[in-house]
């Protein structure tokens, strides 16, 4: 199915407004720094808040590049410039909510660029080491616990004309779109644009742009960025010096072949090559036909039969890496040019049909009848290659099996061959990578299509995203204790626990996590025993401290032990996300765990791998360092009224109500049992019989079990019934 078979319909085939709304959500999910309290992505939290401290600067903010957490300057600048270009071309047609949202996203990143440009000839083009970052699989919110995030700059001695001019381009476009909306801010943008442009133009070198090597090399060089930045500065200022420099740069653009006069036309606008943008602006501003011819040579190449490879399903396939990104970028350029009066009239419809077919392919018009946009359409991708959306706690790309979060609006890379095939596999980063630059041209093309179908291009969703997150009751547990009974006897037991932080809503680093183990000693109170007759000990533990016992409820004789962890627990790996702790409780004869709140339901085994939920119990509640309950429940506090003659569940007795208990039931020979004013058994009326306190039953094997004062047979101490 070739693009020519998809003439532009009379009405939009998809809800383009909804797709744009979700595409902007993706950018919110990428944001770094201190997020506002009303941030729409509830599974994102503050991150990268120490960025820049290594160079005594505040370099917080901006956006993470893709499914990783490096702030790469070159693709981020490209993203911002394309989004601003979309506003410049199609912003007036956007719904007000979407226009305001994209302006906020642009400003969020421009503010970061301002911080990264502390002096005219200094620009911090990257925060985070790419190799170290890619070696870790976890959420952005825990990254600073795992690694340092160095800052890298270009300056006069170590220049980087590509990234400096690319960022000047972003500032220049921002100065234009904010000109009437926020004049002072627009002036700030212009100031930075001109300084960075001068820095790039005067140095004309990328000698200092080294840290991004292997990730975002500048293959096209810096002249395309210089031309594009100068062209937009000319649009803004009308200063002819910028037009002159923009044209100067064209002499160094890549050629279609070694001795060809034509500039390269077999690619499209990208984070690396801005000459496809620059030639459109120069065509408008100079009216020189050489630029128009170059623009249309490029767009015609993308049409069916023009040279680009087409899949049988209709995708114009340029490259395996982010194939949908490139076809979307080409669609964006096609819509810009088709709506320009300079476009050859014979090509207008062809370009529009091409753009619509490529965007609709990504939305579901393909042999798979499936969307390539997360959270939109039929059978969308569920497992994009994105660390924070995955919600991993084990530093493992495969665990959990499914992403915990829906990364709404993210355009995945798509088919890596021109065969329309695709597998939704997080580990296949070629097909499932998502990135800021992937969504930029995609959004721009959607905005252009929205303009093409007034009144039928759909509408934004109400209550998005608030009503579209996974309901809390359906989410995986985040904080909890897993426990088993290590051993038990007639007088006590040992417990093995693992305290877990698998947080993802958002991921959190917690210091001072602690849990409480509740147990009751009510069954030995009638024997004259107290908490002082119990002992507590610890076994294997990973940095925990045992405290207590503490009285929780006098009415039910319930106490608790508290186990606290001073070191941070956070979802970043086996040793980071869980802490093991073993402890024992031993008491007098008759101590029975069956009424112990936290003992209830415990089994005898669970895996020690932090990949499942075996042994999870809600009866061992866990708290953060401030004492806020994170998971589990505490036992009900006894609310009985002692003395009203009604036996409540947490009372041993009340008035004449003894719950069926007798002297013999407590181990005495006979007599009359009564209840005292504290709703405790009064055994003063029971006959004196020697009771073995270790077994809670009368001594046997002798008719005179009490020998001497306070001694049972075999030298065992007698209880108070013998005295």
pLDDT in tens, 264-296: 999 999 999 999 999 999 999 999 999 999 999
Per-residue pLDDT band at 645 (split at 50, 70, 90): confident
695 pLDDT above the threshold of 70: no
Q: Distance of CA 480 to CAs 498, 515, 612, 615, 629, Å?
A: 8, 9, 12, 10, 10
708 pLDDT above the threshold of 90: no
The catalytic residue among 385, 405, 514, 631 is: 385
Q: Distance of CA 307 to CAs 301, 336, 360, 515, 668, Å?
A: 5, 21, 21, 66, 101
pLDDT in tens, 472-488: 999 999 999 999 999 99
pLDDT in tens, 170-187: 999 999 999 999 999 999
Torsion sign, CA atoms 521, 524, 525, 530: negative
Quote the CA–CA distance of 631 and 480 in Å, as a whole number: 6
Q: Kindly give the pairing relationship between strand 151-155 and strand 578-586.
A: unpaired
105 pLDDT above the threshold of 70: yes
Per-residue pLDDT band at 600 (split at 50, 70, 90): very high
Q: Report pLDDT for 690.
A: 54
225 pLDDT above the threshold of 70: yes
Torsion sign, CA atoms 229, 235, 240, 244: positive
Domains in the chain: ranges and CATH: 3-469 (1.50.10.10), 476-631 (2.60.40.710)
The catalytic residue among 51, 141, 225, 433 is: 433
CB < 8 Å & 24+ apart, contacts of 545-550: 546/581, 546/583
Report the pLDDT averaged over residues 162-167: 99
Q: Report pLDDT for 603.
A: 83
Secondary structure (DSSP) of 538-607: EEEESSEEEEEEEEEETTTTEEEEEEEE-S-B-SSSHHHHEEEEEEEEE-STT--GGG-TTTTT-BS---
Per-residue pLDDT band at 659 (split at 50, 70, 90): confident
The strands making up 151-155's β-sheet, listed across from edge to edge, are 71-72, 122-127, 151-155
Report the pLDDT averaged over residues 582-592: 95
Per-residue pLDDT band at 723 (split at 50, 70, 90): very low
Q: Report pLDDT for 216.
A: 98
Report the pLDDT averaged over residues 148-161: 99
Report the pLDDT averaged over residues 299-305: 99
Per-residue pLDDT band at 702 (split at 50, 70, 90): very low
> Does pTM top 0.75 for this prediction?
yes
Per-residue pLDDT band at 689 (split at 50, 70, 90): low
pLDDT in tens, 348-360: 999 999 999 999 9
8 A C-beta contact, residue 635 and residue 597 = yes
Q: Report pLDDT for 709.
A: 37
If one counts every other C-beta atom within 10 angstroms of the C-beta of residue 523, the result is 20
517 pLDDT above the threshold of 70: yes
Structure tokens at 565: 């962890």
Per-residue pLDDT band at 679 (split at 50, 70, 90): confident
Report the pLDDT averaged over residues 378-388: 98
34 pLDDT above the threshold of 60: yes
Quote the CA–CA distance of 478 and 61 in Å, as a whole number: 27
Q: Report pLDDT for 24.
A: 99
Structure tokens at 52: 């820049």
Residue showing tokens 């994105």? 386
The catalytic residue among 424, 533, 562, 648 is: 424
Per-residue pLDDT band at 667 (split at 50, 70, 90): confident
Per-residue pLDDT band at 651 (split at 50, 70, 90): confident
Q: Which of 639, 695, 645 is nearest to 666 (CA)?
A: 695
Q: Report pLDDT for 7.
A: 54
Q: Report pLDDT for 654.
A: 87
pLDDT exceeding 70 applies to what percent of the chain? 93
Q: Report pLDDT for 606.
A: 72
Range scoring the smallest mean pLDDT among 111-115, 166-170, 248-252, 602-606: 602-606
Range scoring the smallest mean pLDDT among 2-6, 327-331, 459-463, 584-588: 2-6
Quote the CA–CA distance of 653 and 677 in Å, as a whole number: 10
Q: Report pLDDT for 610.
A: 62
| 578 has catalytic annotation | no
Report the pLDDT averaged over residues 456-461: 95
Structure tokens at 89: 């071309």
| 117 has catalytic annotation | no
| 104 has catalytic annotation | no
pLDDT exceeding 90 applies to what percent of the chain? 82
pLDDT in tens, 536-564: 999 989 999 999 999 999 888 999 999 99
Averaged pLDDT of the chain = 92
């Amino acid at each position: 199915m070739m693009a020519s078979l998809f003439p532009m319909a009379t009405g939009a085939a998809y809800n383009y407004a909804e797709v744009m709304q979700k595409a902007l959500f993706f950018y919110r999910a990428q944001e770094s720094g201190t997020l506002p309290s009303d941030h729409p992505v509830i599974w994102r939290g503050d991150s990268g808040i120490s960025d820049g401290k290594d160079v005594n600067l505040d370099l917080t903010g901006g956006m993470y590049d893709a499914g990783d957490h490096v702030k790469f300057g070159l693709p981020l600048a490209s993203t911002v410039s394309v989004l601003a270009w979309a506003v410049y071309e199609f912003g007036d047609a956007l719904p007000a909510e979407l226009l305001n949202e994209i302006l906020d996203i642009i400003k969020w990143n421009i503010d970061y660029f301002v911080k990264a440009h502390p002096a005219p000839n200094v620009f911090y083009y990257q925060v985070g080491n790419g190799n170290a970052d890619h070696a870790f699989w976890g959420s952005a919110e825990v990254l600073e616990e795992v690694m340092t995030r160095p800052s890298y700059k270009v300056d006069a001695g170590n220049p980087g004309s590509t990234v400096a001019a690319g960022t000047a381009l972003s500032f220049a476009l921002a100065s234009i779109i904010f000109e009437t909306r926020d004049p002072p801010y627009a002036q700030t943008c212009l100031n930075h644009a001109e300084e960075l442009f001068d820095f790039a133009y005067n140095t004309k070198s990328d000698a200092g742009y080294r840290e991004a090597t292997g990730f975002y090399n500048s293959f096209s060089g810096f002249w395309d960025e210089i031309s594009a930045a100068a062209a937009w500065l000319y649009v803004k200022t009308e200063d002819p010096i910028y037009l002159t420099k923009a044209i100067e740069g064209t002499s160094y653009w890549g050629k279609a072949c070694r001795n060809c006069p034509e500039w390269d036309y077999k690619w499209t606008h990208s984070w690396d090559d801005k000459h496809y943008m620059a030639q459109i602006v120069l065509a408008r501003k100079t009216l020189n036909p050489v630029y128009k011819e170059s623009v249309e040579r490029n767009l015609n190449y993308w049409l069916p039969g023009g040279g680009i490879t087409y899949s049988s399903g209709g995708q114009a396939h340029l490259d395996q890496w982010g194939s949908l990104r490139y076809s979307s970028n080409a669609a964006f350029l096609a819509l810009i040019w088709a709506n320009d009066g300079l476009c050859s009239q014979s090509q207008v419809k062809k370009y529009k049909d091409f753009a619509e077919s490529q965007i609709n392919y990504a939305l579901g018009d393909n042999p798979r009848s499936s969307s390539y946009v997360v959270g939109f359409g039929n059978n969308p991708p569920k497992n994009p290659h994105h660390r924070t959306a995955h919600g991993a706690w084990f530093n493992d790309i495969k665990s959990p099996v499914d992403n915990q979060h829906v990364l709404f609006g993210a355009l995945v890379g798509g088919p890596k061959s021109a065969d329309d095939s695709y597998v939704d596999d997080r580990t296949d980063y070629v097909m499932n990578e998502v990135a800021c630059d992937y969504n930029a041209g995609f959004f721009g093309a959607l905005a252009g299509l929205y303009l093409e179908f007034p009144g039928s291009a759909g509408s934004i969703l109400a209550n998005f995203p608030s009503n579209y997150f996974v309901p809390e009751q359906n989410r995986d547990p985040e904080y909890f204790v897993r426990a088993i009974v290590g051993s038990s006897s007639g007088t006590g037991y040992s417990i093995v626990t693992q305290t877990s932080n698998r947080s993802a809503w958002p991921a959190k680093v917690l210091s001072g996590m602690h849990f409480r183990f509740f147990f009751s000693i009510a069954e030995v109170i009638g024997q004259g025993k107290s908490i002082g007759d119990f002992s507590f000990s610890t076994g294997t533990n990973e940095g925990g401290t045992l405290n207590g016992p503490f009285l929780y409820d006098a009415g039910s004789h319930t106490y608790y032990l508290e186990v606290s962890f001073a070191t941070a627990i956070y979802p970043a790996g086996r040793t980071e996300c869980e802490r093991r702790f073993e402890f024992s409780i031993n008491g007098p004869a008759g101590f029975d765990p069956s009424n112990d709140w936290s003992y209830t339901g415990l089994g005898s085994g669970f895996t020690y791998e932090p990949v499942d939920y075996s042994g999870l119990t809600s009866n061992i509640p866990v708290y953060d360092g401030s004492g806020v309950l994170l998971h589990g429940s505490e036992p009900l506090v006894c609310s009985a009224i002692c003395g009203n003659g009604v036996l409540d569940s947490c009372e041993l007795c009340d008035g004449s109500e003894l719950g069926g208990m007798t002297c013999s039931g407590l181990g005495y020979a006979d007599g009359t049992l009564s209840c005292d004013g504290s709703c405790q058994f009064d055994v003063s009326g029971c006959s004196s019989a020697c009771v073995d306190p270790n077994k809670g039953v009368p001594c046997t094997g002798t008719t005179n079990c009490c020998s001497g004062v306070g001694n049972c047979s075999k030298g065992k101490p007698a209880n108070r019934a013998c005295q």
